[in-house]
Amino acid sequence: VRGAVTLAGVMTLPFALDSGAPFPARDLAVSLAAMVIVFSLLLASVALPPLMRGLHFAPNSRTEREASLAQDAMLRAALDSVAASARRRGAESPESAALYLEVAENLSGALRRQSGEAADVAETERLGRQIAIERELRLEAIAASREAVFHLARTHRISDSLAREQGRLLDLHEAHLR
């Protein structure tokens, strides 16, 4: 698309004059137009990326404030809903009340982390360590599961194709964690 107007304009030059003689330097004009187009494409490809890296756009503070307001409102609504639901369901099922509160607390923490809400440094470090420990334990559980599946296949209690299928599923879980 770039240079189409330039090339279209130069191509409107007639091939011949009214007298039948060839139009003077038509081929030169077409060649020059094509070279200008190619040169401008190459120059833009080389020069624009470094120029754009140094270009900084002024942030739209109103849009950022509105986005921040929306994110805060969504987070507060989600946290309030989780807490209210946990209390309500805990009251409906007293034997599971402690479990509902624990799950609600974990979910609230996950929602806060997901939204990027800043917690204190100690809590952030503790949560990071907790996530790392959970990942390690999950990887060890996957390794143990894989060994159990292959043991069943070696002792001919399950088919090799089923063992391979289960192994692939475990590989996917492991890849997701890594």
pLDDT of residue 120: 63
> In this structure, is the dihedral angle defined by the CA atoms of residues 105, 108, 112 and 114, taken in order, positive or negative?
positive
Tell me if 171 sits within 8 A of 139, measured CB to CB. Answer: no
Give pLDDT, residue 2: 74
Under the banding of pLDDT at 50, 70 and 90, the label for residue 112 is confident
Q: Indicate the pLDDT class of residue 51, thresholds 50, 70 and 90.
A: confident
Averaged pLDDT for residues 144-162: 94
Residue type, 123: E
Q: In whole angstroms, give the CA distance from residue 19 to residue 22.
A: 9
Q: Using alpha carbons only, give the angle 33, 35, 38 rounded to the nearest 5 degrees.
A: 110
Residues 6+ apart with CB under 8 A from 160: 153
Q: Is 22 helix (H, G, I), strand (E, B) or coil?
A: strand
Phi and psi, residue 108, nearest 5° = -60, -40
**Of all helices (H) and strands (E), which one includes residue 67?**
helix 61-92
pTM greater than 0.85 (yes/no): no
Q: Which two tokens stand for residue 97?
A: 């009340």
Rounded to whole angstroms, how far apart are CA atoms 159 and 151? 11
Min mean pLDDT across 101-105, 144-148, 167-171 is at: 101-105
| 33 touches 6 (CB < 8 A) | yes
What are the boundaries of each domain within the chain?
A: 1-37, 67-118, 123-178
Strand partners for 16:
22
